[in-house]
């Protein structure tokens, strides 16, 4: 049986989550930083993602080449990602390399932000933005986000825009790192085959000097969703891509698992949308998911179809949402909840998979959840819970954006 998670907070506020697993054959570690795109000034969109790139360019003591060579020596399982509310740096390796893993990840978190590195990386990010701009699913999601959130920080683009990325200065990036990477926003999680006492001893010595950052700004209240339907006509495309969003529940809501079960019941594999839109041949893709943030949540989904079917498919999608209450039965909820529980167990079978659940749940809830607790929370979802979600978040009047060779959707 896996021991419980050992949680420690250093005097400077940095949190340690240590979860040794005697049966594991690898060790994974990650720095989870409670900052992302929503913490940026609007004119500095993309700063969090830009900074993520620059952390791999080396520290004052270690060059980019040496840092990446050290990461490769660990086995090549090192990466990072930026989201709306979190930036994560992670790696996995063999148990005997655990000290090098921790030292290298920690060195990565102390970037030099050399001017000579910033300009080439700016070009890389501008190319990344241009690449995603050619992908209809990404384009329509960005358009939907702008419509749904308006000027709210959750409407910020993680990558930023070409204009904001070009305008980001070294001073702005350094300020972002100084203010947003303070010890009280940082969690180091370690999972797998390692000695927790040795890691604690190392952390007390090596991480005690981690500086404090700036205070977290109060969250802006979520806006009222507009419930609009907008078409972005692009006759170069052969198909129509539609994205939609409706209000959901925040991460700390007691019905959060029920919201995920509801989304699975509707938009998961063999869900209501599959039988209404895919099995009938109306659309070639259709989904719905529940996304949660600190103080808000959304049900987001969409579909892709032939242009001449776009209105028919949109009407059918809305009909599925409207009919969701009638589909909430003990059998459908049990199946959806079991899928959530099994997917949780499958991810937890490797230290790297468990690492993300451990770190992200801690950022969302302020405490780590064991795999057993995550599975139990999913398994305990009842039809009454799902109906309660539908009462709090009626799936009516979605905000809709359509992209492609079509006009006049309503």
What average pLDDT values come out for the chain (410 residues) when binned by 10 residues? 84 97 95 97 97 97 95 89 97 96 97 96 97 95 95 95 98 96 97 97 97 84 93 96 98 97 96 97 97 96 97 98 97 96 95 96 94 95 98 97 94
**8 A C-beta contact, residue 379 and residue 102:** no
Q: What is the pLDDT of residue 160?
A: 97
d(C-alpha 82, C-alpha 88), whole Å: 7
The H or E element that residue 291 is part of is: strand 285-292
Q: Minimal CA–CA distance to 101: which of 12, 182, 206?
A: 206
The structural domains of the chain, ordered by start, are 6-206 (3.30.830.10), 229-404 (3.30.830.10)
Give 237's contacts (C-beta < 8 A, 6+ positions apart).
136, 403, 404, 405
Looking at the DSSP assignment, which residues form a beta bridge with residue 292?
Answer: 297
> How many CA atoms lie less than 13 Å away from 389 in the CB half-sphere?
31
Q: Are strands 186-192 and 15-20 parallel, antiparallel or unpaired?
A: parallel
d(C-alpha 373, C-alpha 358), whole Å: 11
Can you give the C-alpha Rg of the chain in angstroms?
22
φ and ψ at 81, to 5 degrees?
A: -150, 155
Question: The tokens of 328 are what?
Answer: 């909430």
Q: Minimal CA–CA distance to 149: which of 300, 324, 343?
A: 300
Q: Minimal CA–CA distance to 105: which of 122, 127, 80?
A: 80
φ and ψ at 161, to 5 degrees?
A: -110, 165
Q: Minimal CA–CA distance to 107: which of 52, 50, 62?
A: 62
SS3 assignment, position 299: strand
**8 A C-beta contact, residue 249 and residue 222:** no
What sections of 181-271 are H helices per DSSP? 196-206, 256-267
The DSSP secondary structure of 360-381, one letter per residue, reads: HHHHHHSS---HHHHHHHHHT-
**8 A C-beta contact, residue 31 and residue 187:** yes
Q: What is the pLDDT of residue 77?
A: 80
Q: What is the pLDDT of residue 341?
A: 95
Q: What is the pLDDT of residue 212?
A: 92
């Amino acid at each position: 049986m896996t021991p419980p998670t050992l949680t420690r907070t250093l005097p400077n506020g940095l949190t340690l989550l240590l979860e040794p697993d005697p049966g594991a054959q690898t060790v994974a570690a990650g720095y989870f930083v409670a900052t992302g795109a929503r913490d940026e000034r609007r004119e500095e969109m993309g700063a969090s993602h830009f900074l993520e790139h620059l952390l791999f360019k080396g520290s004052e003591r270690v060059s980019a080449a040496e840092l990446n060579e050290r990461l490769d020596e660990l086995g090549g399982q090192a990466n990072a990602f930026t989201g709306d509310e979190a930036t994560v740096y992670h790696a996995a390796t063999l148990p005997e390399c655990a000290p090098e893993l921790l030292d290298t990840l920690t060195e990565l978190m102390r970037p030099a932000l050399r001017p000579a590195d910033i300009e080439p990386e700016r070009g890389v990010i501008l190319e990344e933005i241009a690449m995603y701009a050619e992908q209809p699913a990404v384009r329509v999601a960005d358009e939907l986000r702008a419509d749904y959130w308006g000027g709210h920080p959750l409407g910020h683009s993680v990558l930023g825009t070409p204009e904001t990325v070009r305008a980001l200065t070294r001073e702005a990036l350094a300020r972002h790192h100084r203010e947003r990477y303070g010890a009280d926003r940082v969690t180091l999680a370690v999972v797998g085959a390692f000695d927790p006492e040795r890691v604690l001893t190392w952390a007390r010595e090596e991480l005690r000097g981690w500086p404090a950052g700036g205070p977290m700004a109060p969250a802006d209240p979520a806006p009222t969703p507009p419930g609009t339907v907008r078409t972005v006509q692009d006759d170069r495309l052969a198909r129509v891509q539609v994205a939609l969003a409706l209000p959901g529940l925040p991460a700390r809501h007691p019905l959060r698992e029920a919201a995920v079960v509801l989304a699975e019941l509707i938009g998961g594999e063999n869900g209501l949308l599959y039988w209404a839109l895919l099995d009938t041949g109306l659309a070639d893709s259709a989904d719905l998911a529940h996304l949660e943030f600190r103080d808000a949540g959304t049900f987001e989904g969409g579909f892709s179809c032939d242009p001449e079917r776009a209105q028919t498919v949109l009407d059918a999608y809305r009909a599925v949402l409207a009919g969701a209450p009638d589909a909430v039965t003990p059998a459908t909820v049990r199946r959806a909840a079991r899928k959530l529980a099994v997917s949780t167990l499958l991810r937890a079978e490797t230290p790297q998979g468990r690492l993300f659940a451990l770190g992200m749940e801690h950022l969302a809830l302020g405490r780590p959840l064991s795999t057993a607790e995550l599975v139990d929370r999913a398994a305990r979802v009842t039809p009454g819970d799902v109906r309660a979600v539908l009462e709090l978040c009626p799936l009516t009047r979605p905000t809709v954006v359509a992209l492609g060779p079509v006009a006049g959707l309503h």
